[in-house]
Chain A
Amino acid sequence: MRGWLHAWEPRCKVAALLGAAGGVAFLHHWYAALLAFALAALLAGVSRLSLRFVVAYLSILTLAAIPFVLILPWTLRDGRPAWVEWGPLTFHPYGLETGLAVGLRLAAIGLLALTLFGTTPWSELLAALHRLGLPAALVWIVALARQYAELLGREFQRLRAALRVRGFRPRPTWHGYRHLGYACGALLVHGAERAERVAAAMRCRGFQGRFIALTPPRPCRLRDLLACVLLWLIVLCLALWERQILEGG
């Protein structure tokens, strides 16, 4: 099912969502981060992305934020009294708020990125990045990074299966660590060799570093630009509100 975000001109969409993600990264307070997360969730909902897709990727990002939420309350403090005191360990609300702000910012940026990737065909996204002025070499790095991530994932599954059929079970022993190390080394070597072969195949087909999109660019309409500006304004207002109301007050 396609929402209106799918019809958004890719250059405007990339500029709007990446700009918004950049703005969210500068928010400090957890109230503002929560509002940014709500805004990103609203966009993800409007884009009619698959819930499974969103949850699968967002859970990975959430895992990355968990250490901040768990550790910062015990290490950061301000003038307010601690909530819990266990001997030398003290649990402070300021640390918790900071950890929450980090987690919510991460989740909001992740949701904006998922919205971008989920509503734009990959080739259109690359073409949009190139038309926005990203050098061809960087566009190719983005394109091939995704490709290699998938290939390496498959290679890892094959290696894992090969280890398992020979009776290997990952255990916290030297034997286990050593063979996991071998597998990781093999994965890197295979990846490097494959990268060389892919590059050779590309050169055989006349590749000389240019990025040429097969799909013609969509026309950029006024409403695409307005939507882009609107999103930027919302994030800007959020940042100003955080500064003036929360911090100033």
Chain B
Amino acid sequence: MMAAAEGGHDPSATPATDLVVQVRHLSHCYRGHLTALVDVSFTVRANENVALVGPNGAGKTTLLLRLTGILPGERGQITVCGYDPADPVQRRFLPRAVGMVFQNPDDQLFAPSVLEDVAFGPLNLGFSPEEARQRAVAALAAVGFPPCWHDRPPLQLSGGDKRRVALAGVLAMQPRLWLLDEPGAFLDPRGRRELIRLLRTLPQAKLIATHDLELVLEVCSRALLLDAGRLIADGPVRQVLADAALLEAHGLEVPYRLGHRADVARVITSENIGLLPPPEREATTSHNGADNRSPDISCIDVPPAPTVPRPDRHHPTRPADDRDNTPIDVTALPPEKQP
């Protein structure tokens, strides 16, 4: 079993000014003693995109709400952009630094028109109506919302357009940290592509709670795996999400892009081509018996998963998971083994 670690990055190695989120030993219980978070600790650096993945009821939304100060609690220490959300005085300044996009855009949109909804945040931050209007127009343009619809009631928009407006509402506030709760929900594939493109262009730090692991692969560099309120793993996104056993143990699946390639690689290497790797049990440890998993993943209370570096078909010396996104020629496979 790997040693427990506090986040994938050692907080002591990062200057305090570079950290936008510091969470230490955070726990949360709802009334009725339903435990939502248990001793969660991690940090997020400025300009870092971090995914928060986990099954339903893992505590992802609770964690985001604790970070915004919306959900009060006492156990644990949180610092977000230098503010303590538990302190009522400091919490008043949090909206200047933190923007949250809620899971359901209907919860976020309430103004009579799209433009007024997007300008709501800047007005509350103290901008003049003219400045707020300019910010709102710019934010709506950034998310690709047509200007001719600025006066429409937000509730009459489609799900994708509502999501755009919700994003624009936060974008207009220009926060240093984005908290996004299931940002891909309600979006069709095109809307999802546009969302990914937008998120990749935003330079600010982002903490994205989602089940959409493909989106995570596209946007995030680091993943936190939560389950039953506990932080299970923290590491580079491609390594956490390629760990099939780890994900399966916590109600997730390897994303199609990673899993598909691993399956294909397994089919090719283990049975058909003759580039037979050692059996999986042996592959998980190196010759000297050390754990072969990436040292960048920190796991807590989870047995090591059999992350097998499988040879690439075209470059047998290179592990399959490290390959780029070049398509695999499935026609070269035997018919009965095609995925």
Q: Show the binding face of A for B, using Cβ within 8 Å.
A: 121-123, 126, 143-144, 147, 150-151, 154, 194, 197-198, 200-208, 210, 212-216
Residues A122 and B112 in contact in the complex (CB < 8 Å), given A208-B92, A214-B133: yes
B106: Cβ under 8 A from any A Cβ: yes
User: DSSP majority for the A interface?
Assistant: helix
In the complex, whether B102 has a CB less than 8 A from a CB of chain A is yes
Q: Given contacts A151-B155, A206-B124, is CB(A197)–CB(B104) below 8 Å?
A: yes
Residues of B within 8 A of A197 (CB): 102, 104, 107
Cα–Cα distance between A133 and B58 once the two chains are bound (Å): 47
Asked whether any CB of chain A lies closer than 8 Å to the CB of B8, the reply is: no
Q: Which residues of A contact B102 (CB under 8 A)?
A: 197, 200-201
**Are B92 and A205 in contact, CB atoms less than 8 angstroms apart?**
no
11 A-B contacts (beta carbon < 8 Å): A147-B110, A151-B155, A197-B107, A198-B108, A198-B110, A200-B107, A205-B169, A206-B125, A207-B120, A214-B132, A216-B129
User: How far is A208 from B94 in the complex, measured between Cα atoms in Å?
Assistant: 12
In the complex, the number of residue pairs spanning A and B with C-beta atoms less than 8 Å apart equals 76
CB neighbours (8 Å) of B92 from chain A are: 208
Taking A197-B102, A201-B102, A212-B124 as known contacts, 10 extra A-B pairs with beta carbons closer than 8 A to each other, sorted by chain A number, are A121-B112, A123-B113, A147-B110, A151-B106, A200-B107, A202-B110, A208-B92, A212-B129, A214-B116, A214-B133
The answer to the question of B70 belonging to the interface, with a C-beta cut-off of 8 Å to chain A, is yes
Interface assignment of B100: CB less than 8 Å from any CB of chain A:
yes
Picked from B111, B124, B133, B169, the residue with its CB within 8 Å of the CB of A123 is B111
In the assembled complex, which residues on chain B have CB atoms less than 8 Å from the CB atom of A216? 129
**Are A215 and B99 in contact, CB atoms less than 8 angstroms apart?**
no
Across-interface contacts of B155 in A (CB, < 8 A): 147, 150-151, 154
Q: Are B112 and A123 interface neighbours, CB within 8 A?
A: yes
User: CB-nearest residue of chain A relative to B64?
Assistant: A204
**Distance, CA A143 to CA B113, complexed state (A):** 12
Q: Does B115 contact A (CB under 8 A)?
A: yes
Contacts of B123 on A, CB cut-off 8 Å?
212, 214
Q: Return A116 CB to nearest CB of chain B, in Å.
A: 15
Nearest CB in chain B: distance from A206 CB, A: 3
Q: Using Cβ atoms and an 8 Å threshold, which residues of chain A touch B170?
A: 205
Interchain CB contact under 8 A, A205 and B129? no
B65 x A208 contact (CB < 8 A): no
Closest to B70 in A: A200
A6 to chain B, nearest CB (A): 15
